[in-house]
Amino acid sequence: MSDIPSTAAKPAYVRPLDLKHGRIDLTHGAGGRASHQLIETVFRPAFAQTWPGGWQDGGDDGALLPDMPLTPGTAGGKLVMATDAHVVSPLFFPGGDIGSLAVHGTVNDLAMMGARPLYLSVSFILEEGLPLSELQRVVQSMARAAREAEVAIVAGDTKVVERGKADGLYISTTGLGQCRPGVQLSGRLAQAGDAVLLSGTVGDHGVAILSQREGLRFDAPIASDCAALHGLVAHMLDTGAALRVLRDPTRGGLATTLNEIAVASGVGMQLDESAIAVNPTVAAACEFMGLDPLYMANEGKLIAICAASDAERLLNAMRAHPLGRQACHIGHVTAGPAGQVRMRTTFGGQRMLDWLMGEPLPRIC
Amino acid sequence: MKYVSEFRDPQLAQQLAQAMANEVHPDRLYRFMEFCGGHTHALARYGVLDLLPSQVQMIHGPGCPVCVLPIGRIDMAIEVARRPGVILASYGDTLRIPASKGLSLMGARAQGADVRVVYSVDDALQLARTWPDREVVFLAIGFETTTPPTAVAIQTARREGLRNFSVLCNHVLTPAAMHAILDQPEPVALDGLVGPAHVSTIIGSRPYEVFASDYHLPVVIAGFEPLDVMQAVLMLIRQVNEGRAEVENEFTRAVNREGNARAIALTDEVFALRDQFEWRGLGSMPHSALRLGDRYADMDAELRFALSTRVVPDHPRCECGPILRGHKRPQDCVLFGTICTPDQPTGACMVSSEGACAAHYRYGRHQADEVAA
Ligand code: SF4
C-alpha cells in the first residue's frame, strides 16, 4: 500500500443503487460506470453463489471452466465460456452488420481470455414486421463470419415479440473456446511497470454507427472496424511474451476499458495521447460532433498489457498481423493512484481519463 | 474535413505557451472568463491549463445550455412528457438534468413517460410524421447556434401541415447572459472575455462591441480547438498589457462582424423575445430568451398544453449558481465528487461534458493529488 501516494482527489464516489425504488435506465447499458455498478450489485452477488469461486474480480468477458479435455486426445487446456447480446441500431452499417458483430463479439470475448473459439450458440429476438429479406441478410452474414473465424454455430433459438417491443432484431451469442495450456489472462493481472499496447486506431466502430444514425456525410466514409481477433491473439501468444491482460475496448471505448483494468488490478496508468492512433476522418467527425474518440466503441481492436521487457517483441508480432499493423505502445502501468488513468495530452498537459458516463452524445451548441 | 491536426500541433502549443510566459507581467493577475462550455471542455480535455502561466486565471462562464436550464423548465418538460399521447423529443444530455423530487427526464421515462433521445430537431420532425396520432413535443434548448435549425423545423412542420408537432422553447441569448454577469451586484473581477465560437458564427462579433466600449473589457472570439483558446488567451494578455479593450476575432475562419444574415432573419421571423426568462444561477433576466412568435403560437407547446413554469430552488448545498456567475470553482462545492458525480449529478453543471463541474471531474481531478502530494 505504502507505494501508492495518498490521493486527495475525490475518489469516484458511486451512490448505491436504490434497489427498492430505482429503475433501469439507459446508462445501465452504456458500458460505463453505471453498467459496472449494476453488475456488481445485482448480478454478481446472485450468480456467484451458483458457482463458488467461479466469479472472479477481473471484470473479464469470459469465464474459465475447470479442466476437461474437450476432445479425446487433446492436451486439455482450460475451457472458456462467454456470452454477449447485440442490440445495435441501425442493423446494417458500413463495415458490418448486427450478424457479423454478434459472431465477432463473442469470438473476441473468448480470444481475450487467450482461447481459441470453437462453438457458438445463438438466440434471436425478432420483432413482428421485420422484413424476411433483412433477417436472411443478417443470418448469411453470421454464417460467413463464423466460417471465417472457424467456429461452428451449433445451437440456437428464436422468439418473436410484438411490433414496438424490439428494435427490429436482437441477437445473443454464447461461445465456448479452449485455452492453450498454461495461458492465463485477466484484467486483475496488470502490474506496475507493465507496458500498455494497442492494436490500432480507436473509435472507428462507434463513429461509423453514429454517423449512420445522424445521417452525417464525411469526405471519406467511416467504416466499422468489426473483426474477429483470435488470429491476432494466437499470433501474439506464439511469441511467448509475458502477457497479463488482453481486452477488446468495445462500448465505453479505450478510456473505460483501461479504467476497468486499473480498478480490477488496483493499479494506475499513465498514457501518452500522441501515441494513440485515430483515423483522421474519425477524428474530424468526433471534432464536429463534440465527441472523444477515446470513448467511442471498437469492435476489432485489442489492448494488451505485458511485461515491459517483452513489449518490443510483442509489438513487432502484432504489427506483422493484418489486424495489428498500426499497433503501438501507448503507455505504462503505474503503482498508483489505484484506479486512476492519466494521460499526457498531445499538448504536453496532464489530464485524467475517466470512465464513460452516460452515452457518448453529440454536443448541443 | 481534414483540418483537425493543424489545430492540435503540440509545437505550436509550446510556442504559444512560451509567448504567454514572455509577455505576462510577473506581478499581476490576468483573470479571463471563457463564456462557453466548449472552451471549458477544451481547456480541461487537452490539459491546456497546465500550459498557461500562473498569472493567468481562467474563470468558467455560464455558456453551457444544459447548465443554465433551471429546474422549473425541466419539471415542465417532465409534466408534458407524462401526458397521455405525448412523445417528448429531447437531446440526450437534457435527460440527465436533475429536476424536482429526485426526478429527471430519464427517470420519468423509466417510469413510463415516452421520452425519446434525438440527435437533431429533424429527428423530432420525423417522429411527428411517423406517429400522426401522437403529440410530438420537441424540447428545444441552446444558444443562438441551435435556434435557426429549430426555426427551420417549425416552418417545415407548418408547410407540411404537421398538426401534431410543437416546440417547448428554451432558446437563450448569449449577450443577455454576459450583461447579467457583468452587472451582478458583486461582479466578478475580470480582465477579459473569451467570446463564444459557434454562437458567433450566427450573431457575428458586433454584439460584443458594447462590452469593450461600455465595460472596457477586452474580448477575443475563439474557436473550440485547444490552440484557438491558447491563441485567444495570448491576444487577451496583449490587450491587457497595452491597455486596450477591443473585440478581436481569433476565429476568422468562421466568424465575421455581421454574422449569418439568413440565420438571423430566420430567427426573427419565427421567434420573439420573452419579457423575462429564468436562468439557472443567474435568476430571471429580461429579454434573455426566445419564445415562438405570434404567427407560430399554435406550435408553442407552452400554449398548446397550458404549461406554466414554477421557480424551483436548486439543491441547498449546490454551488452551480456561484459557479455559473464566476464566483466559485467546482472544487469549492462540498458535493463535488462525493454526492455529485457525472453518473449521479446533483446539479446541472455536472451533467453535460461542457459543464464546469463535469469537465473538472473528468479531466482535472488529478490536480488535487498534486496539491496534496
Ligand atoms: S458539484 Fe454538483 S452540486 Fe456542486 S456545483 Fe457542481 S453540479 Fe452543482
Q: What is the DSSP string of B118-154?
A: -SSHHHHHHHHHH-TTSEEEEEEEESTTTHHHHHHHH
Asked if B170 is an interface residue toward chain A (Cβ–Cβ < 8 A), one would say no
Per-residue model confidence as pLDDT tens digits over B28-83: 999 999 999 999 999 988 889 989 999 999 999 999 999 999 999 999 999 999 99
According to the model, what pLDDT value does residue A8 have?
Answer: 43
Angle at which helices A98-111 and A132-149 pack, to 10 degrees?
30
Residue-level length of chain A? 365
Q: What are the start-end ranges of the H helices in A67-203?
A: 98-111, 132-149
* Percent of residues, chain B, with pLDDT higher than 70: 96
Beta-carbon neighbour count of residue B290 at 10 Å? 24
Contact B64 A365 (CB under 8 A): yes
Highest mean pLDDT among A43-52, A216-225, A348-357, B159-168: B159-168
Position A291 confidence tier, pLDDT thresholds 50, 70, 90: confident
Please report, as a single letter, which amino acid is at residue B223.
Answer: G
* Percent of residues, chain A, with pLDDT higher than 70: 86
Asked if B97 is an interface residue toward chain A (Cβ–Cβ < 8 A), one would say no
Please give the sequence-ordered ranges of beta strands (E in DSSP) within chain A, or none if there are none.
62-65, 79-86, 92-93, 96-97, 115-127, 152-161, 169-179, 195-198, 243-247, 268-272, 303-306, 328-334, 341-344, 350-352
pLDDT of residue B214 exceeding 90, the answer is yes
> In this structure, what C-alpha cell is assigned to residue B287?
429579454
- With beta carbons less than 8 A apart as the criterion, state whether B241 and B235 touch: no
pLDDT of residue B1 exceeding 60, the answer is no
pLDDT of residue A56 exceeding 70, the answer is no
Strands A328-334 vs B115-117: parallel, antiparallel or unpaired: unpaired
Beta-carbon neighbour count of residue B243 at 10 Å? 8
Closest to A103 in 3D by CA, of A299, A323, A325: A299
C-alpha A75/C-alpha A71 separation (Å) is 9
Position B366 confidence tier, pLDDT thresholds 50, 70, 90: low
Per-residue model confidence as pLDDT tens digits over A227-247: 999 999 999 999 999 999 999
Give every CB contact of residue B218 below 8 A, 6+ residues apart in sequence: B191, B192, B193, B212, B236, B239, B240, B244, B245, B246, B248
Q: Rounded to an integer, what is the distance from CA B326 to the centroid of its chain?
A: 14
- Whose cell is 465528487? That residue is B337
Per-residue model confidence as pLDDT tens digits over B253-298: 888 999 999 999 999 999 999 999 999 988 899 999 999 999 999 9
Helix (DSSP H) and strand (DSSP E) numbers for chain A = 9, 14
Position A342 confidence tier, pLDDT thresholds 50, 70, 90: very high
Of A33, A274, A347, the CB nearest to B51: A347
Which of A72-76, A295-299, A360-364, B354-358 shows the lowest per-residue confidence on average (mean pLDDT)? A72-76
Q: Higher pLDDT residue, B234 or B371?
A: B234
Q: For the CA atoms of chain A, what is the radius of gyration?
A: 20
According to the model, what pLDDT value does residue A4 have?
Answer: 36
C-alpha B113/C-alpha B81 separation (Å) is 6
Angle at which helices A98-111 and A230-238 pack, to 10 degrees?
20
Beta-carbon neighbour count of residue A210 at 10 Å? 23
Q: Which atom of ligand 1 is nearest to the CA of B355?
A: 7
Q: Rounded to an integer, what is the distance from CA A116 to the centroid of its chain?
A: 17
Asked if B344 is an interface residue toward chain A (Cβ–Cβ < 8 A), one would say yes
C-alpha B316/C-alpha B229 separation (Å) is 34
Using CB atoms and an 8 Å cut-off, which of residues 257-296 of chain A contact chain B?
Answer: 274, 280-281, 283-285, 287-288, 290, 292
Of B8, B120, B369, the CB nearest to A346: B8
Q: Rounded to an integer, what is the distance from CA A197 to the centroid of its chain?
A: 15
Mean pLDDT of B165-188: 93
Mean pLDDT, all residues of chain A: 85
Strands B283-286 vs A92-93: parallel, antiparallel or unpaired: unpaired
Q: Rounded to an integer, what is the distance from CA A200 to the centroid of its chain?
A: 14
Distance from CA of A245 to the nearest CA of B (A): 25
C-alpha A47/C-alpha A360 separation (Å) is 30
Closest to A294 in 3D by CA, of A207, A187, A192, A173: A207
Helix, strand or coil, per DSSP, at residue B247: strand
According to the model, what pLDDT value does residue B298 have?
Answer: 97
Q: Which residues of B touch A222 (CB under 8 A)?
A: none
Beta-carbon neighbour count of residue A290 at 10 Å? 20
C-alpha A187/C-alpha A261 separation (Å) is 5
Position B310 confidence tier, pLDDT thresholds 50, 70, 90: confident
Q: Higher pLDDT residue, A49 or A205?
A: A205
Contact A365 B145 (CB under 8 A): yes
C-alpha B351/C-alpha B65 separation (Å) is 11
Using CB atoms and an 8 Å cut-off, which of residues 24-43 of chain B contact chain A?
Answer: 36-38, 41
**B161 Rama sector, left if φ>0, alpha if ψ -120 to 50, beta otherwise:** left
Asked if B363 is an interface residue toward chain A (Cβ–Cβ < 8 A), one would say yes
Q: Is B330 in the pocket of ligand 1 (CB under 6 A)?
A: yes
Position B337 confidence tier, pLDDT thresholds 50, 70, 90: confident
pLDDT of residue A220 exceeding 70, the answer is no
> In this structure, what C-alpha cell is assigned to residue A294?
477515446
Position A53 confidence tier, pLDDT thresholds 50, 70, 90: low
Asked if A3 is an interface residue toward chain B (Cβ–Cβ < 8 A), one would say no
Q: Is B361 in the pocket of ligand 1 (CB under 6 A)?
A: no
Kindly list the distances between the CA atom of residue B60 and the CA atoms of A281, B86, B181, B336, in Å, as whole numbers in the listed order: 31, 37, 11, 16
Of A340, A349, A365, the CB nearest to B48: A349
pLDDT of residue A51 exceeding 70, the answer is no
Mean pLDDT, all residues of chain B: 91
> In this structure, what C-alpha cell is assigned to residue B122?
429533424
- With beta carbons less than 8 A apart as the criterion, state whether A278 and A201 touch: yes
The residue contributing the CA closest to ligand 1 atom 7 is B347
C-alpha B321/C-alpha B62 separation (Å) is 9
pLDDT of residue B86 exceeding 80, the answer is yes
Please report, as a single letter, which amino acid is at residue A363.
Answer: R
Position B370 confidence tier, pLDDT thresholds 50, 70, 90: very low
Entry pTM: 0.80
- With beta carbons less than 8 A apart as the criterion, state whether B42 and B51 touch: no
> In this structure, what C-alpha cell is assigned to residue A124?
434471436
> In this structure, what C-alpha cell is assigned to residue B156?
417545415
Q: Is B97 in the pocket of ligand 1 (CB under 6 A)?
A: no
C-alpha B52/C-alpha B54 separation (Å) is 6
Q: Which atom of ligand 1 is nearest to the CA of B357?
A: 6
- With beta carbons less than 8 A apart as the criterion, state whether A211 and A222 touch: yes
Please report, as a single letter, which amino acid is at residue A318.
Answer: M
Position B2 confidence tier, pLDDT thresholds 50, 70, 90: very low
Q: Is B346 in the pocket of ligand 1 (CB under 6 A)?
A: yes
Give B346 Cα–ligand 1 centroid separation in angstroms: 6
Output the furthest CA–CA distance in chain A (Å, rounded).
63
Kindly list the distances between the CA atom of residue B187 and the CA atoms of B39, B178, B181, B183, in Å, as whole numbers in the listed order: 21, 11, 7, 6
- Cα dihedral across residues B358, B364, B365, B371: positive or negative: negative
Contact B46 A364 (CB under 8 A): no
Q: What element of type H or E holds B58?
A: strand B56-63
Please report, as a single letter, which amino acid is at residue A232.
Answer: L
According to the model, what pLDDT value does residue A68 have?
Answer: 62
Name the residue of B66, B320, B351, B360 to mutate for ligand 1: max ligand atoms within 8 A of Cβ. B320
pLDDT of residue B131 exceeding 90, the answer is yes
Mean pLDDT of A248-270: 95
Helix (DSSP H) and strand (DSSP E) numbers for chain B = 15, 13
C-alpha A60/C-alpha A44 separation (Å) is 13
Name the residue of B71, B324, B346 to mutate for ligand 1: max ligand atoms within 8 A of Cβ. B346
> What's B364's DSSP letter?
I
